[in-house]
Structure 1
Amino acid sequence: MTRWVATPALARACAVAAAGLVGAVALGSPVLVVLTAPFLVPAVLGLVHRPRTTPRLVPDLGVQRLHEGQGLASGLVVEPADGVEHVTRVLERPPYVVLSPPSGVVGGLLRDGMPEAGIGVTRWGRRPVGAEQVALTGAWAGFRWGPRAVPAVTVPVLPQPAAFDSRAEAPQPDGLVGAHRSRRVGSGTEFSGIRGFAAGDRLRRIHWPVSLRTGSLQVVTTRAEQDSGVLVVVDAFRELGHSGGVDGPASSLDLTVRAASALAEHHVRVGDRVGLRVLGPGDARVPLGTGTRHLHRLAGTLARIVPANRQVDEDAALELGVQGDCVVYVLSPMLDAPVVTATAMLVRRGVPVIVIDTLGERDLDELGGPRSRAGLAWRMRRVERDNLLDRLAGLGCPVVPWRGPGTVDDVLHRLARRAQQPRVRAR
């Protein structure tokens, strides 16, 4: 409704007041005027204060993005507000959105401020928030405008990074100055070792105590000051389990996205160059980069992930786009052969790859029990998956379940030691 119309209360007051006045004149009874006065006065005041302008509703959320678990106040601006006395708002509640009050119904006098409702988001993604129905009432409840629908505003909800910290070094730093030392010998300040003098060595690198003791010139070698290249690969081909939001049970994709966010934030904070590859709808790619702005780009890309939930072609060929020496984190439930094959190809090329299993614990009771058809099929699928992971581990690729802090420390230490050894790469 886009115009002001009389309320039923005003219509009743006018009808009763008119009937009383007509009756008083017809019957010559002034008592009827006194009896109808409580209806006559509000009817006259309501007609006198009839709004003359057409209001316009402008949603005012006040934020451009949120994190899981955060909330906002759903503001609303009424322009112009001439003649508006009372505002009633009824908010819609889409999935993974909570309201305060839970009913989503708020109202109050405009002179006391626009009534606001609290909106909270419980899961990452692009969430439509702020959709509501708004009704305005004029002075003395004489005229009503609306209810009028206010469209939702899509707000990107960034994943809440899982608790994660690592004290291990990346095994193959490759870039420009960063936090992790390089395994390459070059110009730097960190001691690497002592070797015999060779043509081209700087004279200031000569270590005289060792040279005098051995009888031949010895020079000090240092580690090149280079940072780490880290590629985070996210498997969004399917989602297993039901997501209960940030405080509820986590689906496989919840674990994947939150773990990817935690890994990306950790490595960006310590100065590494981080890239992202999303396998699934959209095939998103974020090149290697550093800094807070790049971290926001990574988080925004993760928030736009939508699970494919379709059968993946078993013969499909995936190219993860790994360039140069970098550490590759593959976050996946590892249920699709193309993802396993692409990971194995990287391992055969000598790229340090860490597979982080984000399948999580799945309750067979949700499938009808372990003896149901669905439960039996899932158990058989797990056997096939375990076989694939065993073959992948046989190639030298570590597979670790996501456990939060310290998940990859031991694996990175082992990869760093392996990186010191000569490698043969398959071309």
Structure 2
Amino acid sequence: MTQPAPARAAAAVRRALDGRLDVTTGPPPPPPPGRRAGERALRLGTLAVVALSAALLTGRPWVLALAAVPLVLLALALPGGPGTGAVTAEAEVEPRRCFEGEQVQVRIAVTCDGEAGRLDPGVVLGHGVRLDRLAVGPHHVELVLTPRRWGRWTLGTVDVDVYDRGGLARRTVRAELGEVAVFPVPGHTRLTPVPVRLPQRIGEHTSAQRGEGVEVTGVHPYVRGERQRRIHWPATTRRGALQVHRFAAERTADTVVLLDVLADVVDPVTGASTLDETFRAAAGLVRAYLRTHDRVGVVSVGGATRWLRPGGGQGYFYRVVESVLAVRKDFAHRAAALDSLPPPALPEGALVYVVTPLTDQRILEVLHQVRKRADPMVVIEIPAGDPVVETGDSEGELALRLWRADRDAMRFALVERGIAVVAHRPGESLDLALAPLLRARIRGGSR
């Protein structure tokens, strides 16, 4: 039975936007225990068996001499080698925290009670990790790995075959490389828009209140006790009375970056991931506001709600990023039920940036929660890319029109509620999206 056109159109959109990856493969099976024959021993054993078989078939005793040498070598290899004592492998990974594209150095030291010969490593890498270099020494193995995307990644395992001096016997020992935390590369941005109302804390943003800042907002009559060096002589001459400069107070801002991790949509044309771009844009915002000595917090919605209270300092950047790295673990991304936002995560009057691809209707519930708190809010849209429609596919074209109309309706609903909506294109500076917000300070809603 053929589905109606609207149903088929909606199904086509869902298939086009299904970009979430869920990798649930476990670790490789454990290596064989104990000591076992190596490749050279297998070749010698094969040669001895062939010689014995030829002697039996031909009835010529002198053919048995061909099996003597392999059998003697195999007998000499039995008492010694790496299987007679303990064999251990210790892995050192440096660093355990890095940014996307940075290299991770791994050194595996192999110790053996008996006499050991060469080492033969077998590397099983985790998801999202690339092997750049492999070097084998007499008692160690060195690797250079590169995590290609942000998240928490399992580096993998290395099974090292330890051979004896003659290469006849071997024993396998496994080294677990553990996990690394890979930070997203922050998007380039230097602009830091601020709301109308700022907290009563000294900072670098000009406030509408009078204070001891450096920006002149006007002049006023001299009051006993004010500094004489602030006298504005041109105004004093015109008015015939002492006039002094009026300065604006400088305040800090509270900023909260809210991340939409309800879905990871992959652009069918460019292959860009909305989850990747969301975190890079958020990291750029966090770093920009921390440079101006503001307090920054983070909230991620989707699955378990993760959040970190606003704080300051350059070292706080790593705490903010680490608090949401668990969203991606070995390419696995899962979004479950939507939880309510915790009140401590959104201080009163904080400027809230919502970084979202606007592909999941549930994000509107989150925006409604923020709006009820009357906090100033900016929605940064990460374009997800339009689904690819084949030429002449009328139902696909209808699905594309419905898809675009739905996104336009979401943007219109947000703008009608007084929420600023800006679009950030991947690969472009975030300053291009934030520049229109500098025309006027961002206002909050009403309770």
Fold shared, TM-score > 0.5 on shorter chain: yes
Correspondence for 2:10: none
Correspondence for 1:75: 107
Provide, for residues 195-230 of structure 1, a one-character-per-residue CA deviation record: whole Å limited to 9, x for no partner. Answer: 3568x9846566565345325564432122322222
How far is 1:261 from its partner? 0.9
Range that drifts further, 84-93 or 372-381? 372-381
Q: How many residues were matched structurally?
A: 399
Q: Which runs of 5+ in 1 are unaligned?
A: none
Tell me, in whole angstroms, the C-alpha distance in 1 between the residues paired with 2:227 and 2:135: 82
1:86 aligns with 2:108: no
Correspondence for 1:241: 266
Please say if residues 401 and 407 of structure 1, whose CA atoms lie closer than 8 Å, have aligned partners that are also in contact. Answer: no
After superposition, residues 117-132 of structure 1 pair within 5 angstroms as: 117-132=143-158
After superposition, residues 329-348 of structure 1 pair within 5 angstroms as: 329-343=353-367, 346=370
Give the TM-score, by structure 1 length. 0.78
Q: Which structure exhibits the higher relative contact order, with contacts defined as CA atoms closer than 8 Å and separated by 6 or more residues?
A: 2
1:39 aligns with 2:63: no
**Percent of aligned positions that are identical:** 24
Q: Which runs of 5+ in 2 are unaligned?
A: 1-31
Correspondence for 2:128: 96
CA 1:174–1:125 in structure 2 vs 1: closer, same or farther (change >3 Å)? Answer: same
Tell me, in whole angstroms, the C-alpha distance in 1 between the residues paired with 2:34 and 2:366: 62
Provide, for residues 151-176 of structure 1, a one-character-per-residue CA deviation record: whole Å limited to 9, x for no partner. Answer: 451211111223x2234553444354
CA 1:12–1:181 in structure 2 vs 1: closer, same or farther (change >3 Å)? Answer: same
AA partner of residue 75 (structure 1): R
Correspondence for 2:89: 57
Correspondence for 2:352: 328
CA 1:411–1:354 in structure 2 vs 1: closer, same or farther (change >3 Å)? Answer: farther
Please say if residues 81 and 116 of structure 2, whose CA atoms lie closer than 8 Å, have aligned partners that are also in contact. Answer: no
Tell me, in whole angstroms, the C-alpha distance in 2 between the residues paired with 1:62 and 1:317: 39
Range that drifts further, 226-235 or 204-213? 204-213
AA partner of residue 272 (structure 1): D
1:10 aligns with 2:26: no
Q: Give the counterpart of 2:386 among 354, 362, 374.
A: 362
Correspondence for 2:167: 141
AA partner of residue 5 (structure 1): R
AA partner of residue 392 (structure 1): L
CA 1:344–1:234 in structure 2 vs 1: closer, same or farther (change >3 Å)? Answer: same
Please say if residues 89 and 174 of structure 2, whose CA atoms lie closer than 8 Å, have aligned partners that are also in contact. Answer: no
AA partner of residue 266 (structure 1): A
Correspondence for 2:432: 407
1:426 aligns with 2:440: no
AA partner of residue 426 (structure 1): S
After superposition, residues 120-269 of structure 1 pair within 5 angstroms as: 120-146=146-172, 148-162=173-187, 164-167=188-191, 169-172=193-196, 173-174=198-199, 176-196=201-221, 202=226, 207=232, 210-211=235-236, 213-215=238-240, 218-241=243-266, 249-269=271-291
Please say if residues 237 and 279 of structure 1, whose CA atoms lie closer than 8 Å, have aligned partners that are also in contact. Answer: yes
How far is 1:183 from its partner? 3.4
Please say if residues 191 and 435 of structure 2, whose CA atoms lie closer than 8 Å, have aligned partners that are also in contact. Answer: no
How far is 1:67 from its partner? 1.6
Please say if residues 174 and 229 of structure 1, whose CA atoms lie closer than 8 Å, have aligned partners that are also in contact. Answer: yes
Provide, for residues 384-410 of structure 1, a one-character-per-residue CA deviation record: whole Å limited to 9, x for no partner. Answer: 221121121123322111133223442
Correspondence for 1:274: 296
Tell me, in whole angstroms, the C-alpha distance in 1 between the residues paired with 2:398 and 2:116: 63
Tell me, in whole angstroms, the C-alpha distance in 1 between the residues paired with 2:115 and 2:392: 65
Tell me, in whole angstroms, the C-alpha distance in 1 between the residues paired with 2:46 and 2:365: 81
Please say if residues 73 and 119 of structure 1, whose CA atoms lie closer than 8 Å, have aligned partners that are also in contact. Answer: yes
Tell me, in whole angstroms, the C-alpha distance in 1 between the residues paired with 2:189 and 2:135: 46
Correspondence for 1:287: 309
Give the TM-score, by structure 2 length. 0.75
Range that drifts further, 166-175 or 69-78? 166-175
Please say if residues 241 and 362 of structure 1, whose CA atoms lie closer than 8 Å, have aligned partners that are also in contact. Answer: no
